[in-house]
Amino acid sequence: MFATIRTAVSLLLLMTLLTGLIYPLAITCIAQVLFPHAANGSLIMRDGKAIGSELIGQEFTVARYFSGRPSATGPVPYNAAASTGSNYGPTNPAQIDVVKGRVEHWLAEVPGKSSVPADLVLASASGLDPHISPAAALYQVERVAAARNLPVEKVRKLVEGSIEQRSLGLLGEPRVNVLKLNLALDRLQ
């Protein structure tokens, strides 16, 4: 019986060393060498300070910036401390009221439009999506251009230049990273 216990303890220590130390250390080293930007959280730096991650949505509520997808975690678009969806179904009265309110907000925010892109009114499942569709970004061009006193065509070209295509040419949909777009917008002025 002592031999069995010794074997079990030895295997426990070996597996703890392998899976708890050696494997994570090896993967971390490989990631740092091959993908340093992603391995370090894809942080975007300005003046030596991290201002956000391009992988996590940020809150932009001022008219001079493009807005991201709404979050079910509260009135602000993103709350990284509480990443979750609302779990409301499409026929839930509370969900219908929230979406109607968002549609009304966007129709008032961007006069002259008769419809609003879905990703500006429907919350993301995680509440942390950093991207919006090209249609959602283009929908906001006139509002942002007016708030910054920039020509609409200049802002439109910036959006069109910020569209990320499908990964590997076939995965996902074309998208616009809101944080990167807003930083590029700040560089225009």
pLDDT tens digits along 108-141: 988 888 899 999 998 877 778 889 999 999 999 9
Buried b or exposed e, range 153-171, using 16+ CB within 10 angstroms: eebbebbeebeeeeeeeee
User: Of 155, 180, 186, which Cα lies nearest the Cα of 58?
Assistant: 180
Buried b or exposed e, range 66-77, using 16+ CB within 10 angstroms: bbbbbbbbeeeb
The answer to whether 55 and 43 have CB atoms below 8 angstroms apart is: no
Classified as helix, coil or strand, 63 is coil
Say what the pLDDT of residue 107 is: 92
User: Of 33, 38, 36, which Cα lies nearest the Cα of 56?
Assistant: 38
pLDDT digits (tens, 9 = 90+) for 26-76: 999 999 999 888 888 777 777 777 777 877 877 788 889 999 988 776 554
- How big is the chain by its Cα radius of gyration, in Å? 22
In this prediction the pTM is 0.74
Task: Read off the pLDDT band of 85 (50, 70, 90).
Answer: low
